[in-house]
Chains A and B, each alone.
Chain A
Amino acid sequence: MYRTVEQIDALAAQLAAQHPALCTLVRLPNPSIKGRTIHALRLRSADATGERRGVLLIGGTHARELMNPDLLIELAVDLVAATVNGTDVVLGARRWPAADLQLMLRALDVYLLPCVNPDGRTHVLTVDDMWRKNRRDNPGTTCDGVDLNRNADLLWGVAQGQTSCRPCTDIYAGSAAFSEPETRNVKHLLDSFRIHCFADVHSYSELVLHPWGHAATQTTDPAKRFTTLPTGTCQPLADSGYAEYMPAQDQFRFRTVGQRIVDAIADVRGHVYANQTGFDLYPTTGTQSDYAYSRHIARPALGKVYGYTIETGPWMGNARDSFHPANPEPVKDEAESGLLAFIQQCICAIDLLGAAQPAGAFDRLVRVRDDFLATTAAGRAWIALFDRAQIPLLAAVLADERLRARATQTLSAVAALLADPGNRLGRDLTDPAAALLRDLATGDVADDVADDVRAVITRLERLAGRTVEESLRDLMGEGPRGES
Chain B
Amino acid sequence: MTDGFRFEATVHPKDDLAADTARMVADLDLDRVPDPTDDVRMLVDLNDCVRLLELGLEVRLQAAVPVRPLDPTLLMSDDAASARLRERIPPPGGAT
Contacts and interface: CB of A to CB of B under 8 A. Distances in A.
Interface of A: 1-4, 7-8, 10-11, 14-15, 18-19, 66, 74, 77-78, 80-81, 84-85, 87, 124-130, 132, 143, 159, 161-162, 164, 166, 168-171, 204-205, 236, 281-283, 311, 314-315, 318-320, 322, 324, 326
Contacts of B71: 129
Given A85-B88, A282-B32, 17 more contacts: A1-B76, A2-B74, A7-B76, A10-B78, A14-B85, A15-B85, A18-B89, A80-B89, A84-B89, A124-B70, A129-B69, A159-B29, A169-B30, A171-B32, A205-B36, A318-B63, A326-B74
B5 to A, nearest CB: 13
Contact of B74 (A1, A10, A126, A127): A1
Given A84-B89, A128-B67, A162-B32, A319 B81 contact: no
Contact of A164 (B29, B65, B69): B29
Contacts of B65: 130, 319-320
B68 A128 contact: yes
A19 B76 CA distance: 24
Chain B interface residue number, banded: 35 or more
A129 B75 contact: no
Contacts of A19: 89
12 contacts: A3-B81, A4-B76, A7-B82, A10-B81, A11-B81, A81-B88, A85-B89, A132-B31, A169-B29, A169-B31, A171-B31, A315-B35
A315 B22 contact: no
Nearest to B31: A170
A1 B29 contact: no
Contacts, number: 120
Contacts of A132: 31
A10 B69 contact: no
Contacts of A318: 8, 62-63
Contact of B82 (A1, A14, A87, A170): A14
Interface string B16-52: 0000001000100111111110000101000000000
A319 B36 CA distance: 10
A125 B75 contact: yes
Interface string B73-95: 01110101110110011010000
Nearest to A240: B23
A171 B42 CA distance: 12
A129 B31 contact: no
A25 to B, nearest CB: 15
A299 B82 CA distance: 42
A128 B2 CA distance: 13
Contacts of B63: 318-320
Contacts of B55: none
Contacts of A124: 69-70
B1 interface: yes
A324 B69 contact: no
A74 B89 contact: no
Nearest to A161: B26
Contacts of A66: 70
Contact of A4 (B26, B35, B75, B88): B75
Given A7-B78, A7-B81, A125-B70, A315 B36 contact: yes
Contact of B41 (A77, A125, A161, A319): A319
